[in-house]
Each structure stands twice: as structure tokens, then as C-alpha cells.
Amino acid sequence: MVQKVYQVHEIQQALELLHQHTHQAKLLAGGTDLIIKMREGHVNPAVLIDISSMDKTRIIEVQGQEIHIGSTATFSEIQEHPLFQKDLGAIAAAARSVGSPQIRNRATIGGNICNASPAADLLPPLLAMEAMTVLRSKETSRLLPLSDFLVGKEKTALKSEEMLERVWFRKLEDRSGLGFSKLGIRNALAIARLSMAVYLKLDATGRCLEARVASGALGLTAQRENEVEAFLQQQVIDETIIDQAAQVLEKTTAQRLAGRSTLPFKRQAVQGVFRDALSQALKTSLRREQS
């Protein structure tokens, strides 16, 4: 049962309270995941620390060659931000795919990341961009790749006295692009049954120098798809290669989900979702080559 609620406006205040109450405390930002878990009895914090009014963790900004998003930035703010309206439109698309407008107005990127749901919509594009997490406690600050931060279904490397301050990733380089695609049960309020993000970097001849493919709802947590990444390396991305890469991903999916009731659906659906995300990434890469 909640015994105390604190509303804080500065990061250091939140960190001091986390240090004092450690395992008894939970951070509250949008509350779209936490409140439901509390109502269902899955978590029972004695202390709630309301960080929704912390302006310094609501940033979305460029710092040199990096794009930083504060942990309390909402999905609506990400969806509408100018940084994500063109070449990084996949980030806005992922944010836009989350729930209803009311949910997007409250739900935060930090909550989405720390909840670590296998179906979290922003995780695949962030993984494909090799995002880094900045974790703060009262005494220390550490940098951890998002891929290492996610350790399992609804499990992260976040310590009880830490908070996720922000996430950042490098801007797209020339001849590079990012794509995102999602298949939900229905358009509104849809939890992803399958989502995919693809990053591509091409050389001047159109050959793939680097591919990063990340999936959601294909395992215990969102993850990189190493086999299809390796296949795409050094390939000229045409329809034949796209078909072959989709088959590689379908085979990986079949092995990973063997015996699960969702396998027949997902082994077929993954190919279409992957093709869509890859085509978007390729289109952006070629456009950035010409600009």
C-alpha cells in the first residue's frame, strides 16, 4: 500500500528519495503502466516519487552528432517533434503507434523502456539506432547500451536506487536510413503482435555497409536480429535480396518460437513487416544519398 507520495521538480531530489527508500519506491511519470500494475497487485510500492514535473528530463534535443531524449518526454512530444518528421520519421511512427491520443499524451519514453515489454513500440527503432541509456543514482552516473539494459521480459539492468535520465543515439549519416513497421490486433489501442525496425547504411554503389535489424514481440524482450543483419552485409539491396533476407528472418522466428501457438501466424507475418521496414530504410538511405 502506498504510504507516501512525493512530487519532485529536480533530478537530484528524485535521486535522493530513491537512495532513501530504495526497494520501497517507484518512480511515477505518465503512470500508464505502473498504475495498472498497482491495481492488479503486481507491484506494491510504499513510496511513489512523481517525476512528471521534471523539465530537465523532458528534453528532445541535438547535442553535436547525438540526439538526446529525456526519460519523461511523452510519446505525443516525440511524435510531433521536428527532429522526427523526415529522415527519422520511423521514430515518430513508432511513437504514433502507441495506444490512443490520451495515452500518448501521458506515456513517457522512460516508462516504455523501463517497463521492458516485449511489445514496447519504441524499443525496436531505438535498438536499431544503437541507443545508449544514461542511468543516474545519487552518487554515480553510468552509460549502458540499450541492448544491455534490456535483460528479459519486463526485466532491466536498472538498479533500485537508479533512474533512467535519458536515452541518446547518433544522427543518421549520409546514405543511411531507418524504417519501422508494426502489426497490431487493431489500429486503435493496439499492442504490437509484431514490430520491426531496420537501419541501413549504403556505400556509393548501393551496397549495404551496415544493417541493424531489431524486432518486438518475437522473444522475451525486443532484440537485434543478428542472422538477418549478417546476411544483408555487403549485399546490394534489391527485391531478390529482400526476399532472401525475409526468409532468413522467417527461419530464425520458427526456431525461436518453436512449439508456441503464435508461431504459424508470426512466421508468415514477420516477412511482410520486415519487408515494409526494410523498404522504408532503403528509401531514406537513397534519398539521403541524393540530398
Each residue's pLDDT tens digit, 175-192: 999 999 998 655 444 455
List helix spans (H) across the chain.
11-21, 34-39, 75-80, 89-96, 101-106, 109-115, 123-128, 146-149, 226-232, 239-256, 263-290
CATH 3.30.43.10 is the classification of domain 4-50: yes
pLDDT in tens, 187-235: 444 455 899 999 999 999 999 999 999 999 999 999 999 999 999 999 9
Residue 213 DSSP SS3? strand
| Dist CA 65 CA 69 (whole Å) | 14
| pLDDT tens digit sequence for 28-68 | 999 988 999 999 999 999 999 999 999 999 999 999 999 99
Alpha helices in 158-200 (DSSP H): none
Model confidence at 108: pLDDT above 60 = yes
Predicted confidence at residue 24, as pLDDT, reads 94
| Percent over 90 (pLDDT), the chain | 87
The domain made up of 176-290 has a fold known as Enolase-like; domain 1 (3.30.390)
Pick among 3.40.630.30, 3.40.50.300, 3.30.465.10, 3.40.50.1950: CATH of 55-170: 3.30.465.10
Gap between the terminal Cα atoms of the chain: 57
CB 220 within 8 A of CB 233: no
Question: pLDDT (tens digit, 9 = 90+) per residue, 259-277?
Answer: 988 888 898 899 999 999 9
What pLDDT is attached to residue 290? 62
Sign of torsion, CA 31 109 219 141? negative
| Predicted local confidence at residue 166, as pLDDT | 98
Alpha-carbon separation of residue 84 from 80, 144, 206 (angstroms): 7, 23, 24
Rounded mean pLDDT, 17-32: 94
Q: What is the pLDDT of residue 190?
A: 47
Determine which of 95-104, 162-171, 229-238, 240-249 has the lowest per-residue pLDDT on average: 95-104
> What pTM value is reported for the model?
0.95
Residue 246's beta-bridge partner residues?
A: none
Q: Model confidence over 121-152: pLDDT tens digits?
A: 999 999 999 999 999 999 999 999 999 999 99
What is the pLDDT of the chain when averaged over all its residues? 93
Sequence spans of domains, the chain: 4-50, 55-170, 176-290
Spatial distance between the Cα atoms of 275 and 229, rounded to a whole number of angstroms: 13
Residue type, 107: A
